Amino acid sequence: MNQQWLTILMSKGIELEQNLRQQLQTAKDELKSQLESRGIRMSAADFAALLEEVSPKASHAALSYALDIVRPFSAGMGLRISRLSDTQVEMVIPARTRNMSETNHMHEGALTTAAAEAAKVLWMRHAPVGNFEISVSRIEAEFFKNQTEDCRIRMELPETTRELVLSALRDHREAKIEAELKIFDDNEQAVAEVRLQLNFKHTPALAGQE
């Protein structure tokens, strides 16, 4: 039931993001038309720079809320989605009491938990229709420094890797992949690296559906 609710909440967040992107594209086209009618032309690079700061914050807030409500183990950690696209995720791990050790440093368990959650959030964007399960079978971590402030955990998902996994799920209903996540402080100094063995299982919504 928890997995179903998380899927629903994340789906709503992604739907909202798609709507915002469409509205943004419409606004961009209208702006371009108005500028050109006045004899002003902007290159694609100029438009990209103009729109770079626009972010679907409502979608990120919805996903962060889902993490704190639906995930029983990580509930209360305050994990926050700060960046999310089809190929990358960034999650903030706040330096709150629940996440700290007795020496007031970010707890190793909090960092590895956040890594697993971040990886699942990114992969759930590509969940095929039906029951899609993600589990972690192995975790390896290397810690570089003690951290007393917030951390940011990041993961990149190459399109080739994504397509290989989705193809394996269509053919065999199961797939495995290794994921690497990097954790930084606010000064972009490396705090830790976490490597996960992710297992995927997919049951189509209808019998025979791929």
Boundaries of every domain in the chain: 2-204
- Is the CB of residue 110 less than 8 Å from the CB of residue 77? yes
Q: Give the pairing type, strands 151-156 and 80-84.
A: unpaired
CA distances 31 to 35, 50, 81, Å, are: 6, 11, 30
Which amino acid belongs to residue 170?
R
Residue predicted with more confidence, 206 or 96: 96
Question: What would the pLDDT profile of 120-131 be if each residue is shown by its tens digit?
Answer: 989 988 888 888
Tens of pLDDT, residues 151-165: 999 999 999 999 999
- 131 three-class SS: strand
Instruction: Summarize the confidence of residues 138-147 as an average pLDDT.
Output: 96
Band (pLDDT 50/70/90 cuts) for residue 83 is: confident
Weakest mean pLDDT among 52-56, 117-121, 185-189, 194-198:
52-56
- C-beta neighbour count of 185 within 10 angstroms: 16
Predicted local distance difference test score (pLDDT) of residue 116: 94
Which residues neighbour 75 within 8 Å (Cβ) at sequence distance 6 or greater?
68, 69
Q: Is the pLDDT of residue 95 over 70?
A: yes
Q: What CATH architecture does domain 2-204 belong to?
A: Roll (3.10)
Q: What percent of the chain has pLDDT over 90?
A: 50
- List the beta bridge partners of residue 175: 200
pTM of the model: 0.67
